[in-house]
Structure 1
Amino acid sequence: MKHEDNLQMRKAGESRQFGSTWKMRVLLIEAFYGGSHKQLMDLLQEELQEDCVLCTLPAKKWHWRARTAALYFMQTVPINPNYRILFASSVLNLAELTALRPDLGKLKKVLYFHENQLVYPVQKFQERDFQYGYNQILSCLVADVVVFNSAFNMESFLTSIGKFMKLIPDHRPKDLEEIIRPKCQVLYFPVRFPDVSREHDKGPETFFEVLLKLKEKDLPFHVSVLGEAFSEIPDIFSEAKKALGSSVLHWGYLPRKDEYFQALCMADVVISTAKHEFFGVAMVEAVYCGCYPLCPKALVYPEIFPAEYLYSTPEQLFKRLQNFCKRPDIVRKHLYKGETAGFSWAALGSKFRSLLAAEPREDL
């Protein structure tokens, strides 16, 4: 779908009846309509039969989306007395939007966290970095329900609030974690699995260093480096592509999802060297397609994958890959010992439907 700078709205089907004659409408707002954010909104709109309206901004200039999207949506979200639910990702400053649009403030407000800014790694901690986390705290305070895509995401956010607020020099607010926590729940990201037989913050340096070490030892392997490229691409990517040479099968973004899944089905192992991950949609998709996962023993990964698929150091990762290069049959015959079904829409759909259900309010 081509992204335009103007508001994008689409309606999905007729509204359903919920034990009454009133019609329920769900307002979906995504200030960063790309990647997993786009996947979730598209899935909700397609799978839910309620009369949904989707309002988006393109997935670029993330910092400006976090700063100013509320003002944009104030002007562009159409007024409609039938709205009952507002569902938005935490990129949006929900506190600002509901102050600017009191009609939206009356709705049941659901805030979904794909990631949180309280533990997001930054190279330099400047004043503007504080604002992003602060915005998310404010959004939680005005939301009715706060949903996280993993327990790691939820706990890392909630337990960091106290320390984060100590950055304020004086007159600090108190007990914010205690206020927000009762609203919170975990609802895993619903992955749309295919019908198959089998960014800087993702730590590319470690990934390529291990591969180049395998190359130096003349170990046989091929690699596919897949994914969407945004405005800033680390130099290590171009350097590694040149150094890996004929070992590269695929490089870069595959625009068609079926081509992407086909590349995953051809692979034996999928590797994460992420320094920052709150769920890991791509890793779960790859495992569903038959890949043996190797992930850091940190972040969200121990919550998602069994212990045997985790490594603690780059050296451990290298040794396991070295062994796989010498004995590819180990991974090709391996049966994954975890499960992916729990991350599917089939498993999670009813929970999302309940989340997006609300009884009509007398004041609306």
Structure 2
Amino acid sequence: MSPFYGGSHKQLIDLLKENIPSCSVFTLPAKKWHWRARTSALFFSQTVPTCSSYRVLFSSSVLNLCELVSLRPDLARLKKVLYFHENQLVYPVRKSQDRDFQYGYNEVLSCLVSDVVVFNSHFNMDSFLSSILPFMKKIPDHRPKDLAQQIRPKCVVMNYPVQFPDVSREHDKNPELFFNTLLRLKEKLLDFHVSVLGETFTDVPEIFSLARVSLDSNILNWGFLPSKDHYLQVLCDADVVVSTAKHEFFGVAMLEAVHCGCFPLCPKALVYPEIFPEQYLYSTPEQLCKRLQELCRRPDLAREHITMVTPLCFVAFLFSFGSQSVNWFWFCAGGHLLVLLDLPEDTVSVFADI
């Protein structure tokens, strides 16, 4: 079940659908995220048919799984797997009062009724579990206890199986730092070109319109590219890819760009130290600007460099259902891989070639 069927959420569901015979997929369009998180459980409770052959319920954490299984006791009996693309306990907001307590609270409840809780990175899992206690302290009195201890044994990290989705432009990617750094490079009369790719949503930070004017002569591509091939070609033509994210639980777009030959520069924070060695990380805006100045003056440093990423994880995970079992193999590792494994005929395999 995917209440927000778009981007990386769609990629994952489509990949599972392709590799798991006879699975049923129930989705809602990737619009109005807040309403999907609030109301999708009731919608799915009315639209998912009763079926005696269902064995596993796999859903993203956008769905309030606790509400769903209370409305549908037949689904409560299934093996329930909850997948976290991101978590709302540490998802950045512009002002602390903007954080809606209910979204994070619903995720905690969903974990409690799940059998398995899957995170796409250790950063995602650790930040969620460590934030439960301070998050629950917002409750004025009669607070629940030991929630992280109940949830932790269910948790497993399975790195996201990378393909090539479109990327988006949002405030949590810290565009102010990115564009301000480029403007500093332009002030120093350094030669560079930039492509800013992704969908435009309703709430676009003001810096985008300002930067588009100020950097006009440096811009090669701007906005959403209509075809996947065009998107990949832009990545292949680029020399450097920069992340200034304040929120990132896995970093799919950065791995896509590295796959296409880009030299990565990432914050020394969030999930990035799990994936990228020290040489690709920066700690301050000044360090980022200095690295980009060097690459502008010596583009050969990026063009002739072969990026090495930290090997991620090879996970063999077993869900047991009495006399039947399903083996889930999730493979992600650095480099360009051709994966050939001798698996039993009844094994369900999910691979990522990154």
Normalising to structure 1: TM-score of the pair? 0.84
Which residue, out of 184, 187, 195, partners 2:158? 187
Which residue, out of 4, 29, 47, partners 1:76? 47
Name which of structure 1's ranges 128-137 and 152-161 shifts more when overlaid on structure 2.
128-137
Which residue, out of 255, 277, 285, partners 1:306? 277
- Which position in structure 2 is the counterpart of 1:167? 138
Which residue, out of 88, 94, 104, partners 1:133? 104
Paired residue secondary structure (2:269): coil
Which residue, out of 129, 146, 153, partners 2:124? 153
Name which of structure 1's ranges 264-273 and 225-234 shifts more when overlaid on structure 2.
225-234
Offset, 1:125:
3.5
- Which position in structure 1 is the counterpart of 2:3? 31
- Which position in structure 2 is the counterpart of 1:246? 217
- Which position in structure 1 is the counterpart of 2:191? 220
CA change 1:355–1:38 in 2 (3 A) is: farther
- Give me the whole-angstrom Cα distance separating, in 2, the residues matched to 1:32 and 1:359: 32
CA change 1:94–1:228 in 2 (3 A) is: same
Q: Does 1:111 align with 2:91?
A: no
Which ranges of structure 2 fall in alignment gaps of 5 or more residues?
325-354
Letter in 2 for 1:297: K
- Give me the whole-angstrom Cα distance separating, in 1, the residues matched to 2:218 and 2:322: 57
- Which position in structure 2 is the counterpart of 1:291? 262
Q: Report Cα offsets for 1:63-102 as digits up to 9, x if no partner.
A: 1111111011111112211111010010000000000111
- Corresponding residue pairs, total: 320
What pairs up with 1:337-356 in 2 under 5 angstroms?
Answer: 337-338=308-309, 342=312, 351=316, 354=317
- Which position in structure 1 is the counterpart of 2:147? 176
- Give me the whole-angstrom Cα distance separating, in 1, the residues matched to 2:43 and 2:73: 15
Root-mean-square deviation over aligned CA pairs: 1.8
- Give me the whole-angstrom Cα distance separating, in 2, the residues matched to 1:320 and 1:127: 35
Letter in 2 for 1:102: P
Q: Does 1:234 align with 2:210?
A: no
Q: Does 1:86 align with 2:57?
A: yes
Which ranges of structure 1 fall in alignment gaps of 5 or more residues?
1-28
Contact 2:277 2:310 in 1 (8 A): no
Q: Report Cα offsets for 1:151-198 as digits up to 9, x if no partner.
A: 00000000111111111111111100110000001000001269xxxx
Contact 1:85 1:356 in 2 (8 A): no
Offset, 1:126:
4.0
Letter in 2 for 1:84: R
Letter in 1 for 2:309: G
- Which position in structure 2 is the counterpart of 1:255? 226
Paired residue secondary structure (1:212): helix
Offset, 1:356:
6.4
Contact 1:270 1:294 in 2 (8 A): yes
Which residue, out of 16, 33, 36, partners 1:44? 16
- Give me the whole-angstrom Cα distance separating, in 1, the residues matched to 2:98 and 2:291: 42
Q: Report Cα offsets for 1:259-309 as digits up to 9, x if no partner.
A: 111110000000000001100100011011110000000011001110110
Contact 1:193 1:288 in 2 (8 A): no
Q: Report Cα offsets for 1:5-34 as digits up to 9, x if no partner.
A: xxxxxxxxxxxxxxxxxxxxxxxx001111
Q: Report Cα offsets for 1:111-150 as digits up to 9, x if no partner.
A: 0001011111123344871111000000000000000000
Contact 1:84 1:360 in 2 (8 A): no
Paired residue secondary structure (1:152): helix
Normalising to structure 2: TM-score of the pair? 0.87
- Give me the whole-angstrom Cα distance separating, in 2, the residues matched to 1:126 and 1:294: 32
Letter in 2 for 1:185: V
Q: Does 1:123 align with 2:94?
A: yes
Letter in 2 for 1:113: F
- Give me the whole-angstrom Cα distance separating, in 2, the residues matched to 1:192 and 1:124: 33
CA change 1:63–1:323 in 2 (3 A) is: same
